[in-house]
Structure 1
Amino acid sequence: MKLQSLAFAALVAILGLASSGMAAAQANMKSVAEIYKTKDALAGKTISAQGKVVKVNNGIMGRNFVHVQDGTGAPDGNKLIVTSKQSANVGDEVTISGVVVLNRDFGSGYMYPLLIEEATISPKK
């Protein structure tokens, strides 16, 4: 009986840690509009966002470029361009998490005022 109680206590502790980590990720969740509005303060920080994949360019310069919109933001700031080793399909609802980079210049006319780099991409939950 004592062993079952210890096992149950361990399970509760593990689940508690998992839910606190999940809460931290949710607290870090930003809308596209919020990311654009506070981009200077977010530069160099890891953020998370959710949205719908609207465009994908795979295999460019050793990374995939995934464009994500969530319905917020102005016409000139309504989608995130995300670079990742992972990819997604147009129409997928995803959660992304990556580092905010400002004024990224890849050369040859490829300049990005706001980019989310080294991102993880997962199906939206």
Structure 2
Amino acid sequence: MMKTPLPLATLLSALLVAPLFAQDAAPAKSVGDLYKERAALSGKQVTLHGKVAKVNNQIMDRNWVHLRDGTGDTADGSNDITITTMDTANPGDTVTVVGTLVVDMDFGSGYKYPLLIEKATITKAP
């Protein structure tokens, strides 16, 4: 009986098991990507890296964070995305955001968002 060397068995195990864990994490997208792919990503969990541009805390029982990453177009506003979260951040922080992408959210009274990442978690970069 021939035994498979441990390193090969470990490698095969990692190749077969790793995809099961990788499915939980959404691949990181840019702000520009979210605007371009909004129809396909609507209602899905997304991950985004960027710099906090503006923060409004405790409005409608949540914190509102505007994030930019240098992509998108300033002329049409696709360079900025709004995130709702219970976490806190400060303007200038570099962060990673994970949340659900919502398309065409209308809160009424003129508060309309073409894209919004809701119920997000924010992790500050070291």
Q: TM-score band, normalised by the shorter chain?
A: 0.7 to 0.9
TM-score by length of structure 2 reads 0.78
- In 2, the alpha carbon distance for the partners of 1:45 and 1:120 equals 14
Larger Rg computed on CA atoms: 2
- Structure that is richer in helix per residue: 1
The match for 2:122 is 121
The match for 2:82 is 81
Residue 55 of structure 1 contacts residue 90 of structure 1 at CA under 8 Å; is this kept in 2? yes
The match for 1:3 is none
- In 2, the alpha carbon distance for the partners of 1:110 and 1:21 equals 38
* Structure 2 residue 65 is matched with structure 1 residue 41: no
Task: State how many pairs are aligned.
Answer: 108
- In 1, the alpha carbon distance for the partners of 2:73 and 2:40 equals 19
Call closer, same or farther: CA 1:101–1:23 in 2, change over 3 Å. Answer: closer
- SS of corresponding position for 1:72: coil
Kindly state the Cα deviation for residue 124 of structure 1 after the two structures are TM-superposed. 2.5
The match for 1:5 is none
Question: Which amino acid is 1:95 matched to?
Answer: T
Structure 1 residue runs of 4+, over 4 Å off? 20-24
Residue 50 of structure 1 contacts residue 124 of structure 1 at CA under 8 Å; is this kept in 2? no
Identity rate, percent? 50
Question: Which amino acid is 1:87 matched to?
Answer: T
Q: Which consecutive unaligned segments of at least 5 residues does structure 2 have?
A: 1-12
Q: Which consecutive unaligned segments of at least 5 residues does structure 1 have?
A: 1-12
